[in-house]
Structure 1
Amino acid sequence: MMQTTTTVTPAGRERAPRLDNKTRREQIAQAALDLVSTRGYRALTVKRLAAKVGLTPSGLYRHFPDKAAILDALLELVADALQGNVQRAAAMKGSALDKLAALLRLQVETIGTKGFGAPRLFFSDDLSMRHPEKQTRLREIMEEFTGGIAAIMAQGQSEGLIREDIPSANLGIMFMGLFQPGALMNYLHRGAFEMQRQAEAAWRVFAVGLTAKGVEAPSLYS
């Protein structure tokens, strides 16, 4: 179990609990992602981020030397979440269709709890102009993610469950459309959008065009 201690300043103000460096870095990266997702790239300042995690700016610099390093950690947090979802789904028992349904559920859960689908990160002009190398890394992350989906699609094609006239790579990108619009609506509704209901409806329509003749896809939540 993670051990933390809380100290009090001479003035009686409680400081943030002391965490090990790895845990603190993950906390800072998540807080940075929250700021970008909800308020945009320009809201990500060292002062604002430090306050969000209960540190002073100098305390934040003990974990990250500069803003570029914070962005690196933020992007790897996104990469870990996306690849983690693909790996978890791919490792599940069942057919490729079962795994695709599981992956969609995982994506909806991730977006709903961590905001990884917020368009402000993926389509930030400030990020691409100020840090083009970060935009390149983000593109790589998304290509790795869609590549993982394509692998599951290819498995389904080999199983005779998924139509073979459309390349698995194209199907992997199409799959993104099952949750990205819901992510946008969830952002616009400040987290109150019913993403599960939207994903269920999108999955039913998508599955009709995805599956081979005579194959019925599993339902998403029932």
Structure 2
Amino acid sequence: MPHSEIVQKTRRERAPRLDNKTRREQIAQAALDLVSTRGYRALTVKRLAAKVGLTPSGLYRHFPDKAAILDAILELVADALHGNVQRALSAEGDSLDKLAALLRMQVHVIGVRGFGAPRFFFSDDLSMRHPEKQIRLREIMEEFTDAVARIMAQGQEQGLIRTDISASKLGIMFLGLFQPGALMNYLHRGEFDMQGQADASWRLFAAGLIAQGVDAPALYPEA
């Protein structure tokens, strides 16, 4: 086969070039995966570039330094949390249905995309070397719990959720439905039954959350 035909064939067989936004998200997810499995110090430009099929110089075209990569990881988390909240709000049903939908989404995201995220979020290296990143993480989690609190407040207004505990405190309690499972999933290298744990946690939480005479939806109706 002539050289020119070989070149053309090779070009046709190449994967389509990713747009900049998609490539940055891919790199951020790969960085989170790397930290999840090997720790913060394993996150080097050379190792990350190899993981996503780029040269170090190619990676630098997307992120100027390691701090920018950490920012991208945090925004990846923020986007995932915000997206889950928006999808839960658009789900059918009342506030309890929306809370159940949000919990299912959280469990899915942690189980599929970030079983090792706790290793990154609670890393001493992150808090000591990049305290400003930890502040951003706190802001992200506060935005999430505030959104959950608004759903709780709607449920209180609808007479579905008890009113003797503030919506803001209930929003923080909601984190306890998936964070312990996330930690155990990390310790079990992604093999922990997060769905089963979340279902049990939801049953206990919902029993104490709902107003008298209200039936809480099942977390996994098919189970």
Cα shift readout 1:55-113 (whole Å, capped 9, x = no counterpart): 11111001111111111111100000001101110122211000000000000110111
- Paired position in structure 2 for 1:53: 52
Q: Residue 38 of structure 1: CA displacement? A: 2.3
Match of 2:175 in 1: 176
Identity %: 81
CA separation of 1:184/1:137 partners in 2, compared to 1, >3 Å: closer, same or farther? same
1:3 is matched with none
Give 1:213's aligned residue. Answer: 212
Query: So what's the TM-score if we normalise by structure 2?
Result: 0.90
Q: Is the 8 A contact 1:16 1:53 kept in 2?
A: no
What is the aligned partner in structure 2 of residue 201 from structure 1?
A: 200
Give 1:112-127 correspondences, 5 Å limit: 112-115=111-114, 118-127=117-126
Answer 1 or 2: which has greater helix percent: 2
CA distance, structure 1, for counterparts of residue 110 and residue 213 of structure 2:
33
* Matched residue, 2:61: 62
Aligned to 1:161: 160
Determine if contact 2:28/2:76 at 8 Å carries over to the other structure: yes
Structure 1 partner of 2:97: 98
Q: Any idea what SS the aligned residue of 2:204 has? A: helix
Q: 1:193 to 1:214 in 2, by over 3 A?
A: same
Matched, 1:129 2:104: no
Displacement, 1:121?
A: 1.9
The range that moved more, 100-109 or 124-133, is 124-133
Gaps of 5+ in 2: 1-8
TM (norm. structure 1) is: 0.91
- The answer on whether the counterparts of 1:162 and 1:210 sit within 8 Å (CA) in structure 2 is yes
Matched, 1:145 2:144: yes
Structure 1 pair 80/112, CA: closer, same or farther in 2 (3 Å)? same
1:142/1:57 Cα in 2 relative to 1: closer, same or farther (>3 Å)? Answer: same
What residue in structure 2 maps to residue 42 of structure 1? 41
Aligned to 1:11: none
User: Considering only aligned residues, what root-mean-square deviation do their CA atoms show, in Å?
Assistant: 1.8
Aligned length: 212
**2:53 is paired with a residue of what secondary structure?**
coil
**Residue 162 of structure 1: SS of its match in structure 2?**
coil
For the residue of structure 2 that corresponds to 1:22, the secondary structure is helix
Alignment partner, residue 189 of structure 2: 190
- In terms of Rg, which structure is larger? 2
CA distance in 2, matches of 1:195, 1:116: 10
